[in-house]
Amino acid sequence: MDTSAFWFVVVATMWGGTNPLLKRGSKGVERIREHNRIQQFLSELKFLFFNWKYLVPFCINQGGSVIYYLTLATADLSLAVPITNSLTFIFTSISGTLMGEKPPSRDTCFGMMLVVCGVALCVLDKV
């Protein structure tokens, strides 16, 4: 496997694995009510920044963004976008299911399998 493709899979894993954790960690932010938009924004930011259940997955997610950015310097963009975007969806679905969210339907699983096959063909075409 191309080394950049490997790093894009790592990024997709980091992004997809943290998405359900970010969703879970941000619960409660919707209940914050302030008098104006600036106070609202600052209160929500404070809520998220001091909530370790949100902050830890956010840092991991942003670490994936740093790896993505660094890998883009030497990678083929025609691989970067399909690998990261499609596999992020798959890893989000898997990690969400492992965390107790509703599992994907049979049709969604079939679609994910087709996505993996398509990404594999893109990678093989570039090797």
pLDDT tens per residue across span 72-84: 988 888 888 888 9
- On the question of pLDDT at 1 being above 70, the answer is no
Domain layout of the chain by residue ranges:
3-126
d(CA 57, CA 10): 15
In this predicted model, what pLDDT tens digit does every residue of 27-67 receive, in sequence order?
Answer: 999 999 998 999 999 999 999 999 999 999 999 999 999 99
Yes or no: say if 87 and 9 are a contact pair by the CB < 8 Å rule.
Answer: yes
62-121 residue pLDDT tens: 999 999 999 998 888 888 888 898 899 999 999 999 999 999 999 999 998 998 898 888
- pLDDT above 80 for 126: no
- CB–CB of 2/79 below 8 Å? yes
Specify whether the CB–CB gap between 84 and 15 falls below 8 A: yes
Interhelix angle 3-25/77-98, nearest 10 degrees = 40
Three-class DSSP category at 60: helix
